C-alpha cells in the first residue's frame, strides 16, 4: 500500500462535530483580524475548537464504552461556546431575534448531555448536528448584519 493510499484508507483526522461552527467562526475571526479589529469572533473560534476536540474524545469514549476526561468536560465546553456566542451576537439579539436559535442551542445541548450520560452514540451525533447548525447560523447572522448597509 502506498503512503497516499494508506492516507485515504486511514485518514489522520479526528472526527469533527462542529464543522460549520468552526468554519464560520474561523472566517469571522480572520476577517476581523484583517480589518485590525479584535472582536469576540476569535473567542467563539477558540471555544468551538475546544468543544470540537472534547466532542471527538467523548465520541471515542462512547464508542469504547469507557469513561474519559472529555466525557466529563464536554458540558462545560459546550456552555463556554454558547456563552462566547452570546458575547459575539449580542445578548439583546440573542434574547430577541435570535431566541429561536438560542432555544435550539439549549435543547441540543441538553440532548448531548443526556446522550453522554446514557452512553448513546447515535443520539450524541444527531444532537450535535442541531447544535452545530444553530451556533453557526447565529455567527453567520452577525456577519450578515455587519455587511448589510444601514438605511
Instruction: Assess if residue 91 is contained within a domain.
Output: yes
Q: Which residue has the higher pLDDT, 116 or 40?
A: 116
Q: How many independent structural domains does the chain possess?
A: 1
**From the CA atom positions of the chain, what is the Rg in Å?**
17
Tens digits of residue pLDDT in 36-76: 666 789 999 999 999 999 999 999 999 999 988 999 999 99
- Residue 1 confidence (pLDDT) above 90: no
User: Domain range for residue 125?
Assistant: 18-147
| Per-residue confidence band for 124, with pLDDT thresholds at 50, 70 and 90 | very high
Instruction: Assess if residue 104 is contained within a domain.
Output: yes
Instruction: Assess if residue 95 is contained within a domain.
Output: yes
**Cell representation of residue 144:** 450578515
CA distance 76 to 98: 22
- pTM across the whole model: 0.85
Contact 18, 132 (CB under 8 A): yes
Instruction: Assess if residue 61 is contained within a domain.
Output: yes
CATH code assigned at 90 = 1.20.120
Instruction: Assess if residue 80 is contained within a domain.
Output: yes
Instruction: Assess if residue 1 is contained within a domain.
Output: no
Instruction: Assess if residue 141 is contained within a domain.
Output: yes
Give me the residue label for grid cell 440573542: 94
Instruction: Assess if residue 13 is contained within a domain.
Output: no
Half-sphere exposure of 51 (CA within 13 A, CB side): 31
CA distance 95 to 43: 20
CA distance 136 to 48: 10
What is the DSSP-derived secondary structure letter of residue 149?
P
> 84-118: b or e for each residue (b if 16 or more CB lie within 10 Å)?
bbbbbbeeebbeeebeebbebbeebbebbbebbee
Amino acid at each position: 500500500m502506498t503512503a497516499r493510499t494508506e492516507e485515504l484508507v486511514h485518514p489522520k483526522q479526528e472526527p469533527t462535530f462542529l464543522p460549520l461552527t468552526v468554519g464560520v467562526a474561523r472566517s469571522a475571526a480572520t476577517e476581523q483580524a484583517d480589518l485590525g479589529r479584535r472582536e469576540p469572533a476569535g473567542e467563539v473560534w477558540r471555544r468551538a475548537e475546544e468543544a470540537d476536540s472534547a466532542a471527538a474524545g467523548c465520541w471515542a469514549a462512547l464508542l469504547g464504552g469507557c469513561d474519559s476526561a472529555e466525557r466529563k468536560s464536554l458540558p462545560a465546553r459546550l456552555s463556554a461556546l454558547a456563552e462566547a456566542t452570546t458575547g459575539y451576537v449580542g445578548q439583546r439579539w440573542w434574547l430577541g431575534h435570535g431566541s429561536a436559535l438560542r432555544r435550539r442551542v439549549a435543547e441540543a445541548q441538553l440532548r448531548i448531555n443526556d446522550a453522554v450520560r446514557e452512553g448513546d452514540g447515535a443520539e450524541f451525533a444527531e444532537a450535535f448536528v442541531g447544535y452545530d447548525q444553530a451556533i453557526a447560523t447565529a455567527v453567520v447572522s452577525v456577519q450578515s448584519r455587519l455587511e448589510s448597509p444601514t438605511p
